[in-house]
Structure 1
Amino acid sequence: MRGGLRMQVLARSTREEALAQVAEMMREPDEKQRRFIAEFMTNVDSEAVKNSFRLADASGDDWLSPYLWSGAVAYRGGPALCIVGSYEEVADYIMEYKAAGVSEFIFSGWPSREEMRIFYRHVLPLVRQREAEAAGAVN
């Protein structure tokens, strides 16, 4: 069985740097955009999108886990669930999803494309290393 997941990713060399970046991005949120997304949600028929909003609403403090942040969902929509942490934490969290059966990932960088460059340079090599280690343990 194969399953997929779509979300944002924000990684920095330390968790503290990643959390500071999240705080900076949310310093002056766009309330007009939040109202637009809320209106959109009244008409959406996607259960996946609705579920993302339900999870975000239920989180209370914007964190669904130590590394899964939902604080931007109200401003950016369902795919704004975001893995946040150090490079190592993000790689480890991705591996937890893989262990749970997720085989396909669609990651977006937020707030910009530069986030994907950071992911490609710093996180993806760690994921590939962990995959190779896991494959070696199986053989």
Structure 2
Amino acid sequence: MIRAAILGLGLAAATATAAWAAPAQEHELRSLGQCALAASLYESLAKPGSPIVLTDADKALIEKMDVAEPTLSKRANTLAETIGKEKAKAVHDKLMTEFKAQLAPEGKPRLPPREALDRYAPIMESCIARSQLLSGLAG
């Protein structure tokens, strides 16, 4: 009887932990998606013919993000597999909608390139730090 109660408590705790972990994993995947979008924005504005001249700080962020990207991508892929395709797609779709709305708010002009870079620079810095943390945990 006691074993059954302990097993029941263990199963209840495991179920509660799994239920709690799913939103946390979705949140982390969303955050990693922001990393990818910020990097994409920076990369698109770094191309020849871009309407902006990148600063040395912009270039340094791009270089650091190029190093961080494989670690972040690996973690994002792991999370996407863990939460499943349907939830991962929902996270992606919501993130893309928010990203587009931030760059070109409805009824307002598109953000100027410099303002867009300045908005996403802190995200890039956070992503680089996260990659370093993940690399340290793996090593």
TM-score (normalizing by structure 2): 0.26
TM-score (normalizing by structure 1): 0.26
Q: Which has more radius of gyration? A: 2
- The structure carrying a bigger strand percent of its residues is 1
